[in-house]
């Protein structure tokens, strides 16, 4: 767990232990939709790489994490609700 999350967890746990009301908000729907779209785009890209691991010149295709943000977006934009 990263330090910021640990600090937040300590503050929330302390507030709960002291009887303070803690309100937990769900992420906004568009954030959830984007996260899902990104996961589906990654899945599609990785499946496509499994079918065709090399470019036409026999160069290996990069892994998902090696793609820049624009190239990743071209894979997940089709899954983002309009």
User: What separation in angstroms does the CA of 38 have from each of 54, 60, 70?
Assistant: 23, 22, 12
Measure the CA–CA gap between 44 and 51, rounded to whole angstroms.
Answer: 11
pLDDT at 59: 96
**For 56, phi and psi rounded to 5 degrees?**
-60, -25
Domain count along the chain: 1
Specify the pLDDT at position 63: 96
Q: Which residues of the chain have pLDDT under 70?
A: 1, 24-32, 81-82
Structural domain harbouring 36 = 3-79
Query: What does the pLDDT read at residue 31?
Result: 65
pLDDT tens digits along 27-46 = 666 666 777 888 999 999 99
pLDDT given for residue 1 in this prediction: 59
């Amino acid at each position: 767990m990263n330090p910021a999350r640990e600090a937040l967890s300590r503050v929330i746990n302390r507030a709960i232990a002291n009887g303070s009301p803690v309100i937990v908000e769900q992420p906004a729907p568009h954030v959830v939709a984007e996260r899902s779209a990104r996961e589906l785009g990654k899945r599609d890209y990785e499946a496509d790489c499994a079918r065709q691991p090399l470019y036409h010149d026999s160069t290996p295709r990069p892994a998902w994490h090696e793609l820049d943000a624009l190239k990743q977006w071209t894979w997940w934009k089709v899954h983002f609700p309009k």
